[in-house]
Amino acid sequence: LAQQKTSGFKLMMTPKWTGFPYFELTGEGAKAAATELGDTLIYAGADHAEVSLQVETLQNFVTQKPDGIILAAIDGNAVAPVLKQARAKGIVVGTYDADAAVAGRDMFVNQLSYEQAARVMLDAALIDAPEGGEIAFIAASPTSPNHVAHMKIMTELSKTEAKYKVFSVVDTQYAGDDDAKSYDVAVNLMQAHPKLKVIISSSAVSAPAAARAIEATGHVGKVWATGFALPSAIKRYLENGSQKAFAFWDPWELGYVAAYAVHQKLAGKFDPKEGAVLDVPKAGKFKTFKDAEVVYGKPLIFTKETVGKYNF
Amino acid sequence: MSEAPSVAARPGSRNLVEVVLRLREAGVVVFLVVLGLAFGLATDRFLSVQNLTTVASSAAILAIAACAQAIVLITRNLDVSVGSMMGLVAYLTADWAATHPGITPVEVVAIPLMIGTVLGAINGLLVAYGRVPALIATLGTMSLYRGFTYIYAHGQEVTSSRLPPWMLSSVDARIGGLPILILVSIAIVAVVAWLLHAYPFGRRLYAVGSNGVAAWFFGLRAERVVFFAYVACGFLCGIAGLLYAARVGTVTVVLANGWEMSSLASAVIGGVSVSGGSGTVVGAALGAVVLATIDNGLVLLRVPEFWRMFIQGAAIVAAVAVDALIAEAIRRSTGGRRR
Amino acid sequence: MSTSAKRQLPLWEMALVVAILAAGAWSSTLSPYYLSVDQLFGSTRAFIIPGLLALGLAVVVSLGEIDISLASIIAVGTVALSKLSAAGVPFAVAAPIVVAIGALCGAFNGLLVAKWRLPSLAVTLGTMGAFRGLAFIAGSEVGYTDFDDVYLWLGSDYVFGGVVPVSLILFALAAAGVWFLMHRTGYGRRCFSIGLNPDAAWFAGVDVVGVKIRAYALAGALAGAAALVWVGQYGSARGDNADGSILFVVTAVVLGGMDINGGRGTLSGVVLALFLLGTIRNGLGLANVGGPTQTVVLGGLLVAGVLRPAAAAAIARLSRPAKTREARAQGE
Amino acid sequence: MPTVAAEPVIPAPILLLRRIGKSFGPVRALEDVSFDVRPGRVHGLVGENGAGKSTLVKIITGLEEADEGEVILAGRAVRFRTPIEARNHGIAAVYQDPKLFPHLSIAENIAMGAYPSGWFGTVDRRAMIDTAREHLARVGSDLDPKRTVAGLSVAEHQFVEIARALSSDVRVLILDEPTSALTPTEAERLFAVVRSLRDRGTAIILITHRLEEIEAMCDDVTVLRDRRHVATLPRAEVDRAKLVQLMVGRPLEALFARRERPTIGEDVLRVEHLSLDGVFDDVSFSVRAGEIVGMGGLVGAGRSEIAQTLFGITPPTAGRVVLKGVEVAPQSPKQMLARGLAYLPEDRDRDGLIMPETITHNITLPILDSLSHWTVVDRAGERRLAESASQTYRVLTPSVETIVSALSGGNRQKVAFAKWLATEPVALILDEPTHGIDIGSKAQVHAMVAQLADRGLAVLLISSDLPELLAMSDRILVIAEGALVAEFARDEATQESVMMAAARQRGGKR
Ligand SMILES: Nc1ncnc2c1ncn2[C@@H]1O[C@H](COP(=O)(O)OP(=O)(O)OP(=O)(O)O)[C@@H](O)[C@H]1O
Ligand SMILES: Nc1ncnc2c1ncn2[C@@H]1O[C@H](COP(=O)(O)OP(=O)(O)OP(=O)(O)O)[C@@H](O)[C@H]1O
Ligand SMILES: [Mg+2]
Ligand SMILES: [Mg+2]
């Protein structure tokens, strides 16, 4: 075997779409990791989440023969063919945020396992409404697998786990990561369910829009919004007291870890087998589960007291 | 020497045309009432004052955008950059407000209106003076404006905490129990309707769209009329963009994406003919209310999301078909020939 | 216009060829990877789906009509194919069925536009939503991915030493076929004559309604074929397939020199425009230029493409002072 | 050359036209036209179709720019940019075909461009409606000004147009064939208005093809021929014969050589009880092989509608059509062409030809299928056919690849002929085949039609040109108000008898 290279890799990264702060943060985190490790990282992508454009971007990546590709998949199956082609050329493929078909990538750096995500959102909901009540979901679309999984597990937990049994799930609506649509859906949900207590959204676009809808329609104190949101987007509502808690993780660090993982794999220092541990000195140690799923698993809950500490 | 008797031989046709033309908006209202009653029977949550207020608020901004679209449609043109104009206006305004903490309400209103007007004028130049077909010209500016928004934003969004608090609270305010947004929207639609109805400029819009050749015979400057229609459209998109930003709170680069189609759909449902010359902005605004009612009713009825898309599409086709029936009646009554 | 109107088009095609070469040369300086056979052939795959739509749209545009529902017909097609695949229908049977479903959707548009004389933009705006809604309603929420390899062959395989994508050959055949139809057969001639003057065409014995319906059906069928390629390329069938790609398609058709008012243009221009847009996007992509910049370039090209006749007319106006104002008023 | 009959009593001219010239691309529409128009007098303007009359109106009112010459109004050279400007200077016109805004009300159509203003610059609707009602009353119409224009009859359109022209302080009123769509009673009403205007000192230009109107109304007459000014004379100095001579350039007899007696065969086109609701009713006639059947009538009588119904443009509501012994129900031109019927439309530029296309493509459009092998158009054969056709019909053109819109009117008509005859029809309907084409081409067209009939074609010739109709036809049918009212054999027909029949009104008046 030839001598293993340990540095100077060429990494290419594409998010679902560029121009969205969450993904831009993951890109910056990844770039920081690459710089530290002596690699180069190129971050590019289309300006809207269209799978054919993402495939085109990946195709262009493959042509440029990088050592590693990092992506958040729009449609995990649709990108699989081009990813397989990349792997066949010896390129290491790592997904983050949203996974691709298992055969198409070497590892998936999962921000939170589906169950973790479901639990942290319910925990946030418990801060909002400790007495429980009706909850409704806003997801991006029925075709986004992680949102669908979150909703399924949350529904499950509200029936099985004592802590969460105070909640009953009454509705699910889709708003396609569109802020105005989310706003209208939130308003319509409050109309449709007069006893509604919490609106939970795993879309970082919908959660702030729901908070805004509650504030604007005079439902403050009666209905709560929660779910995943960037602290900057919901800071206002926490600070003015109209909302109590949201959840998320650190997207910058997620990107950092994803790039780190791909680098370590390239350098031969990390093999994403079940049970293997990825050691990222600045972020922590992360365990690998079945199907090369590396769980980052550091949920954050933002409240009025803590939201000021985050600058993203 | 035969016209008088031959017309007398087809009585009724002219009356039908007039009745239909006059009742076009009334027809939309009737449709709306029927829709409302249907939803009301299906779910008792629909016909509450509160829910109807909700529907009206949801429709409020779209109504303004539809109004903008209608002005251009009346001149027998089209603007598919409506959403992009709103997005660019909203982003630039929000960004300005976020970076200039001392900003006054006057500036917050003036900036988007100015930007909107300029964007509309660019469209107007291309279509009226550059003689570029409206669809193509505005498809181009649709990507140009949106692309510019992205490039300017650099992956940032303007979050609600960065906006002056009064900007958000002022759209939440209520007067006499009605959200101010609804009142503003009604006021704008009413003013525009009045301008189009009562002012020579408004009448020229209809004239140019009704019969371009006749407009030429009458000595109207069609270019100028079309240009100003686009300027007015941009101006209204400025208002709509500002209200949108204040309503949702978080201003992203994709703001109002796809609104070109919703505004077009509202106008068409509201009886504004894509062949020009007929329809009113009130109709277009009512069309927006129809769309919002469908949205709201289907959520209340828990109809799956996908049916909404289908029902809205079908509603558009139905509205166009009704329009064609009217046009056919006009054709028959004027003795115009078929192909 | 005068006699030179005809000779203008080849000129435009030449300009497109020059632009393609320039864009290619520029791309090769942007990226050292650009000039490889694999890359060049492989990159064409990104334009085959919009390309098939553009061929159909060009036929519709030659009539002076438009169809913005074509991308939604792809979604109908992919979902239909997923149903057939799930039912275990062999691909050889399923493929023609999907193409036929596309043709049916197109014919429905055509019926509304030609027979009922509804404005095509408004009609296809409606059916754009309705078709996609249907695709979503019919398809399951999460989409379908369990396609058999045979189903994927058309969109994912390569021939001739694994270099030339099968779908490229399909596109080449379709392009040649549509070119032949529009420029060599009576049908094409009738299409263009309808685009120039539907009344006179009808008086000359052209079955205007029939020709239009067939044009829409053809565009729909090509969208159905594009659905087959889609499934092959992406292995995934969902209601949101090909959402938002119609802008690119319209751009290609207009940049290719098709007059949006009908009656003029060539299919070779459209194919060249596809190549030009493809080359530019490929080059920008290899240079890792961001999506927004690409969007701006696309919009700019579109406006430039349509300002071309306007500019030509302006020049003509300057050089020939005598003009008919009425003719211009009628051109409105 | 421009001679103004100098009579000392007549008032000084208000409008002077000086050496006006105008071209539309290759088409010369006006050349060196000069004459004067005086207040308180009606100035007739006559000339054959295409003589440039309407173009002159457009130039005076600022719709078209003259290439040469000038318009002098009340001593000052003027060049209006829009008709609104012209109206502000007291010049109003009723154009040849009424063009109104169908979606707007009558009142708005009348006021367009000169709205009465009310509060804050709004349109004062009440004033607008009152004014409109007033003006309508002046032309003797009691139409409701609030009605939309869509739905008005042609005559009502015309009255709205005239009311519109009156709605400003007119010093010069131009009427371009105002009576062509009116019944005699309506026309009389209009002329009463014109007389009262004249008596109040308005200068009036009246364009008409009806020579009796010239006799009844005009004080002066200007004749245009072949785009040029021929003469301006006081009405007293001209009679009908002289007018015709001036317009046509030679005596009537010399213009139309009568056709030799033809040999006539079997019925080719037989029409039985054909009706189209509200347009024409129970029309029956037949045309035999080798026969030219003329169809006369006033403009708007329904001749074109009958022809177009036969050709399948508008399917009939009742009756049957028998072509070569086979019954057909006309549904579309495609079907009728296949059955051997061809129709040369009256509006050549709109319906007869695809103007931006080449001669070849125009000629072969109806017969593409027969020129194709396996759906592929034989382009060489197509060109050969076009070349031989354009030789046969003497189309003056550099090549058959020339765009039709670049040809002159007469040559366009020949291309249209070539196109229809390429379909090898058994029966041919010609609708105003010489409308708007020059004398030379006209004679060629006549010769061509005669030749076709001699070859055994059945020809139905619709023409508003009486001398032409009389000279060409073997038999003449007269249509009035959508009904076949008279039939004349070749030798019975005279201008007078045909006119009398054509002017018949329902109820037997006139
Ligand atoms: N816009 C135009 N473009 C090209 N040629 C034109 C145009 N308008 C008129 N012409 C031509 O100019 C000539 C004069 O036309 P004009 O309409 O003035 O005749 P006219 O005397 O009014 O005839 P008619 O009695 O038929 O109304 C004709 O040969 C006509 O074909
Ligand atoms: N532009 C029009 N708008 C409304 N009605 C029309 C129009 N043209 C013709 N008509 C109506 O159609 C009927 C028949 O007209 P048509 O043109 O067939 O008459 P025609 O005898 O051929 O006269 P022309 O010499 O003008 O061709 C008339 O009753 C007339 O009122
Ligand atoms: Mg005339
Ligand atoms: Mg006629």
Give C199 Cα–ligand 1 centroid separation in angstroms. Answer: 21
What is the model's pLDDT at position D98? Answer: 67
Q: Are D246 and D258 in contact (CB under 8 A)?
A: no
Query: Measured between beta carbons, which residues in chain A are less than 8 angstroms from residue C156?
Result: 81
- Measured in degrees and rounded to the nearest 5, phi and psi for residue D97 equal -105, 130
Question: A290: how many CB neighbours lie within 10 A of its CB?
Answer: 9
Q: Round the CA-based radius of gyration of chain C to a whole number and report it.
A: 20
Q: How many CA atoms lie within 13 A of A95 on its CB side?
A: 28
User: CA-CA-CA-CA torsion for C263, C267, C269, C271, nearest 10 degrees?
Assistant: 150
Q: Is the CB of D304 under 6 A from ligand 2?
A: yes
Q: How far apart are the first and last CA of chain B?
A: 25
CA distances in angstroms from A67 to A41, A55, A81, A104, B276, listed in the order given: 10, 18, 18, 15, 58
Q: Are C233 and C185 in contact (CB under 8 A)?
A: no
Helix axes A51-63, C208-234, angle to 10 degrees: 50
List all residues 6 or more positions away from C219 whose beta carbon is below 8 Å from its beta carbon.
C53, C56, C57, C59, C60, C67, C70, C106
Strand order through the sheet with A196-201: A167-174, A133-139, A196-201, A224-227
| Interface size between A and C, measured as CB pairs under 8 A | 99
Query: Which ligand has an atom closest to residue D58 CA?
Result: 1
Per-residue pLDDT, averaged over D158-175, amounts to 84
CA distances in angstroms from A101 to A79, A94, D199, listed in the order given: 8, 11, 93
What is the model's pLDDT at position B13? Answer: 45
Backbone dihedral region for residue C32 (phi beyond 0: left; psi -120 to 50: alpha; all else: beta): alpha
Tokens of D220: 């002066």
What is the model's pLDDT at position C323? Answer: 39
Tokens 């780190």 sit on residue:
A260
Residues pairing with D229 in the sheet: D224
Tokens 């990104």 sit on residue:
C46
Instruction: Kindly give the number of the ligand 2 atom that is closest to the alpha carbon of D346.
Output: 27
Query: Measured between beta carbons, which residues in chain A are less than 8 angstroms from residue C143?
Result: 75, 77, 143
**Residue-range domain boundaries for chain B:** 11-333
Query: Which ligand has an atom closest to residue D47 CA?
Result: 1
Ranking B38-47, B280-289, C156-165 by mean pLDDT, the lowest is C156-165
Q: Is the CB of D408 under 6 A from ligand 1?
A: no
- CA-nearest of C298, C195, C291 to C252 is C298
Strand order through the sheet with D427-431: D341-344, D427-431, D458-462, D292-296, D475-480, D483-489
| Residue D299 pLDDT exceeds 80 | no
What is the model's pLDDT at position D508? Answer: 39
What are D444-461's pLDDT values in tens digits?
A: 888 889 888 988 899 999
| Average per-residue pLDDT for chain D | 84
Tokens 């990494």 sit on residue:
A11
Ranking A61-65, A118-122, A244-248, D348-352 by mean pLDDT, the lowest is D348-352
Query: Measured between beta carbons, which residues in chain B are less than 8 angstroms from residue A196?
Result: none
pTM of the model: 0.86
The three-class DSSP label of residue C315 is helix
- CA-nearest of D180, D420, D496, D431 to D294 is D431
Tell me which residue in A47, A191, A212 faces B54 most closely, judged by beta carbons: A191
What is the model's pLDDT at position D346? Answer: 85
Tell me which residue in B51, B61, B161 faces A236 most closely, judged by beta carbons: B161
Under the banding of pLDDT at 50, 70 and 90, the label for residue B26 is confident
Q: Are the Cβ atoms of B160 and A183 closer than 8 angstroms?
A: no
| Residue B25 pLDDT exceeds 80 | no
Q: Provide the sign of the torsion angle of the four alpha carbons D226, D228, D229, D230, taken in this order.
A: negative
Helix or strand (DSSP H, E) at D295:
strand D292-296
- Better-predicted residue by pLDDT, C258 or D499: C258
The three-class DSSP label of residue D411 is helix
Cα(C328)–Cα(D63) distance, rounded to whole angstroms?
A: 12
Cα(D95)–Cα(D113) distance, rounded to whole angstroms?
A: 16
How many Å is the maximal CA-CA distance in chain C? 69
| Average per-residue pLDDT for chain B | 85
Helix or strand (DSSP H, E) at D78:
strand D76-78
Instruction: Kindly give the number of the ligand 1 atom that is closest to the alpha carbon of D48.
Output: 25
Q: Which chains touch D (3 or more CB pairs under 8 A)?
A: B, C
Q: How far is C202 from chain D (nearest CA, A)?
A: 7
Chains A and D touch each other (3 or more Cβ pairs < 8 A): no
List all residues 6 or more positions away from A98 whose beta carbon is below 8 Å from its beta carbon.
A16, A72, A73, A74, A76, A144, A145, A146
Ranking A182-186, A257-261, C185-189, D162-166 by mean pLDDT, the lowest is D162-166
What are D84-133's pLDDT values in tens digits?
A: 888 888 898 888 776 788 888 899 898 887 777 777 778 888 888 998 99
Q: How would you classify the pairing of strands A167-174 and A133-139? A: parallel
Q: Is the CB of D410 under 6 A from ligand 1?
A: no
Residues pairing with D123 in the sheet: D117
Q: How far is A138 from chain B (nearest CA, A)?
A: 12
What is the model's pLDDT at position A28? Answer: 94
Which spans in chain C are helix H? 8-30, 37-62, 70-86, 91-110, 120-138, 149-156, 166-184, 186-196, 198-203, 208-234, 246-255, 267-286, 291-319, 325-331
What is this model's ipTM? Answer: 0.84
Taken as a whole, chain A contains a residue count of: 312
Give D462 Cα–ligand 2 centroid separation in angstroms. Answer: 13
Ranking B111-120, C284-293, D111-120, D465-474 by mean pLDDT, the lowest is D111-120
Q: Are B23 and B245 in contact (CB under 8 A)?
A: no
Q: Is the CB of D47 under 6 A from ligand 1?
A: yes
Tokens of D200: 């109040």
Cα(C286)–Cα(C33) distance, rounded to whole angstroms?
A: 8
Ligand 2 pocket: which of D274, D275, D303, D506 to mutate (most atoms within 8 A of CB): D303
- CA-nearest of A263, A251, A235 to A96 is A251
Burial D269-297 (b: 16+ CB within 10 A, else e): bbbeebbbebbbbebebbbbbbbbbbbbb
Cα(D367)–Cα(D420) distance, rounded to whole angstroms?
A: 9
Backbone dihedral region for residue C257 (phi beyond 0: left; psi -120 to 50: alpha; all else: beta): left
Q: Is the CB of D154 under 6 A from ligand 2?
A: yes
Chains B and C touch each other (3 or more Cβ pairs < 8 A): yes
Closest-approach residue (CA) in chain B for C138: B306
Q: How far apart are the first and last CA of chain A?
A: 44
Q: Are the Cβ atoms of C33 and A50 closer than 8 angstroms?
A: no
Query: Measured between beta carbons, which residues in chain C are less than 8 angstroms from residue D352?
Result: 200, 203
Per-residue pLDDT for chain C (332 aa), expressed as one digit of tens each?
334 444 445 777 888 888 889 888 888 887 788 888 888 887 888 889 999 999 999 999 999 999 999 999 999 999 999 999 999 899 999 999 999 999 999 999 999 999 988 889 889 989 999 999 999 888 866 678 888 888 888 887 888 877 888 999 999 999 999 999 999 999 999 999 999 999 999 999 999 999 999 999 999 999 999 999 999 988 888 887 877 778 789 888 988 888 888 898 999 999 999 999 888 888 888 888 888 888 888 888 778 777 766 666 666 655 544 334 444 444 43
Q: Are D34 and D18 in contact (CB under 8 A)?
A: yes
Tokens of A257: 């870890």
Helix or strand (DSSP H, E) at A135:
strand A133-139
Per-residue pLDDT, averaged over A7-32, amounts to 92
What is the model's pLDDT at position B6? Answer: 29
Q: Are the Cβ atoms of A236 and B155 closer than 8 angstroms?
A: no
The DSSP string of C166-209 is HHHHHHHHHHHHHHHHHHHBHHHHHHHHHHH-HHHHHHTT--HH
What are A220-250's pLDDT values in tens digits?
A: 989 999 999 999 889 889 988 889 999 999 9
| Residue D153 pLDDT exceeds 60 | yes
What is the model's pLDDT at position B20? Answer: 58
Tokens 């139809």 sit on residue:
C181
- CA-nearest of A1, A24, A8 to A68 is A8
Q: Are the Cβ atoms of C196 and D369 closer than 8 angstroms?
A: no
Cα(D425)–Cα(D391) distance, rounded to whole angstroms?
A: 19
What are A173-200's pLDDT values in tens digits?
A: 888 888 888 998 999 899 889 899 999 9
Q: Round the CA-based radius of gyration of chain A to a whole number and report it.
A: 20
- Better-predicted residue by pLDDT, D239 or D337: D337
Q: Round the CA-based radius of gyration of chain D to a whole number and report it.
A: 24
- Measured in degrees and rounded to the nearest 5, phi and psi for residue D231 equal -165, 155
What is the model's pLDDT at position B2? Answer: 31
Q: Are the Cβ atoms of B296 and A215 closer than 8 angstroms?
A: no
Tokens of D376: 């592929």
Under the banding of pLDDT at 50, 70 and 90, the label for residue B339 is very low
Give D306 Cα–ligand 4 centroid separation in angstroms. Answer: 9
- Better-predicted residue by pLDDT, D504 or C257: C257
Query: Which ligand has an atom closest to residue D438 CA?
Result: 1
| Residue D427 pLDDT exceeds 90 | yes
Query: Which ligand has an atom closest to residue D302 CA?
Result: 2
Helix or strand (DSSP H, E) at D172:
strand D172-176
Cα(C246)–Cα(B136) distance, rounded to whole angstroms?
A: 12
Tokens 């059916």 sit on residue:
C127
Query: Measured between beta carbons, which residues in chain B are less than 8 angstroms from residue C249?
Result: none
Cα(C112)–Cα(C110) distance, rounded to whole angstroms?
A: 5
Give the residue, by CA position, lying nearest to ligand 2 atom 4: B335
Q: Are B233 and B86 in contact (CB under 8 A)?
A: no
What are B152-192's pLDDT values in tens digits?
A: 988 888 888 888 888 888 888 888 888 899 999 999 999 99
Q: Is the CB of B305 under 6 A from ligand 2?
A: no
What is the model's pLDDT at position C178? Answer: 97
What is the model's pLDDT at position B232? Answer: 97
Alpha carbon D48 to its chain centroid, in Å, reads: 10
Instruction: Kindly give the number of the ligand 2 atom that is closest to the alpha carbon of D464.
Output: 25
Under the banding of pLDDT at 50, 70 and 90, the label for residue B315 is confident
Q: How many CA atoms lie within 13 A of B65 on its CB side?
A: 32
- Better-predicted residue by pLDDT, C216 or D495: C216
Burial of D338 by CB count in 10 Å (0-12 exposed, 13-18 middle, 19+ buried)? middle
What is the model's pLDDT at position D257? Answer: 60
Q: Is the CB of D365 under 6 A from ligand 2?
A: no
| Residue B334 pLDDT exceeds 70 | no
Tokens of D447: 């010769």
Tokens of C312: 């030509």
Taking only residues 179 to 208 of chain C, the set having a beta carbon closer than 8 angstroms to any beta carbon of chain B reads: 198-199, 202, 208
Q: Please identify, in words, the CATH class of the domain defined by C3-326.
A: mainly alpha
Tell me which residue in B7, B15, B206 faces D153 most closely, judged by beta carbons: B7
- CA-nearest of B35, B108, B24 to B70 is B24
